[in-house]
Amino acid sequence: MRLPSGDGEREEARDVSDDSVSSVTRISPSRRALGSKEMRELMDRLSAQQASLARSVALMDTEYLSHSFYLDPKTGKRIAHELEPNELAGFVASWGIAPMECIRAMNGAIAAIPDAARRERYIKAAVELEILLDQQSWLNDGRVYQGIPDYLMHGYTDMGSQASPTERIGREKIKVDKVRMAPRLAECKRRGVAADEDMEGLLRWYYDSVRRDIEFDETGVEKLSKDFGNESIVLSEYLEKGLGVCRHLSIFFQLYLQEAGIECRLVKGNLKFYIFKGRHAWNLVRLGDRVVLIDVTHPNVTKPFMVSGSSEKEVYEQAAMHSRSYDRTPDEQNHYKIGAA
């Protein structure tokens, strides 16, 4: 992965709203441009493991963590090589542009560590570093965006069709809070780093993980929504209560796969399935030149509904052969914002 210089220009958000909606845009969320002082403060916050992970990505060296230190000639202790300011700047800029590439690079470096205990420390450090970079990379400016981002960051707030940043009409607003979910995300990364099975088996494991964590419960979701009123509900609330519906299950599934470095997209639309007809959410996974449709809300909880093809069109055609008609609605009908969680 080629790292940018770190001077990263900020993406300006184009306002396409009317007077009744505050700052609704159709492009990617605005990235923060860190100054030299902020970059120094970020450097000071990094643990030794996190600095080494950043350096492994900056140097594009998957074997770096095996020689990321030297022995102090006086004490014999391991001393980590220092992360250079330009290396950190490039890493931060890369995260704002291509976080999934950074995750895959870190996972590859962690997987190369032979010692299990040391590998575990780096898994936890990587999840915490990802959260820190999410917090540093995107502006929490209250702006509302149209669409669904490829990468779900900490603070991503799914607002559905609602464009108001403060009021709620209909279903709840869901905010991703990775801090409270860090132990679960670390478990997902651990599995992805191990990757000791075929990809179908790995996808099945993440499917089983979501279904183990979350029970489909419309009544429970409605009650929680009423309890919170206009407030956004952090995703960890659903994890702790063990309940959700299709939109929650699909968000969890994407977050879990992100930790494995697997490209996954939340998709919204309509589903016809025998007598059922209504709004629905599912996931599309990219595996090289293959597309995999996975519906985590499939009624058979012991077997995921999973169809693969060379294109999105092909997987929807295959799904129709299983009496499932998926009608994807334009991403622009969805709204989201980035907020502190």
Residue 294 host element (H or E)? strand 290-295
Answer whether residue 251 shows pLDDT above 80.
yes
- Three-state SS for 78-115 is EEECCCCHHHHHHHHHHHHHCHHHHHHHHHHHHHCCCC
**Where do runs of H (alpha helix) occur along the chain?**
36-45, 48-58, 85-97, 99-111, 116-137, 178-194, 199-213, 218-228, 235-241, 246-259, 312-320
* Domain ranges for the chain: 34-137, 144-338
The domain made up of 144-338 has a fold known as C8orf32 fold (3.10.620)
Is residue 123 within 8 Å of 189, Cβ to Cβ?
Answer: yes
Taking residues 156-167, report their average pLDDT. Answer: 86
Answer whether residue 254 shows pLDDT above 50.
yes
pLDDT value for 164: 83
Q: What does the alpha-carbon distance between residue 159 and residue 175 come to, in Å, rounded to a whole number? A: 9
Q: Which tens digit of pLDDT belongs to each residue from 276-316?
A: 889 999 999 999 999 999 999 977 667 789 999 999 999 99
pLDDT value for 234: 96
Confidence (pTM): 0.90
Is residue 272 within 8 Å of 324, Cβ to Cβ?
Answer: yes
Tokens of 140: 């929490």
pLDDT value for 25: 55
Taking residues 31-57, report their average pLDDT. Answer: 93
Compute the chain's Rg from CA coordinates. 21
The residue type found at 297 is T
pLDDT value for 78: 78
Q: What does the alpha-carbon distance between residue 333 and residue 335 come to, in Å, rounded to a whole number? A: 7
DSSP 13: P
Average pLDDT, the chain: 88
Beta-strand pair 276-287/263-273 = antiparallel
Taking residues 160-186, report their average pLDDT. Answer: 90
Answer whether residue 26 shows pLDDT above 80.
no
Taking residues 236-250, report their average pLDDT. Answer: 96
Burial class (CB in 10 A: 0-12, 13-18, 19+), 84: middle
Q: Could you tell me the pLDDT band of residue 29, with boundaries at 50, 70 and 90?
A: confident
CA distances (Å), 38 to each of 76, 130, 196, in order?
Answer: 34, 17, 40
Taking residues 5-29, report their average pLDDT. Answer: 46
Residue 217 host element (H or E)? none
pLDDT value for 258: 98
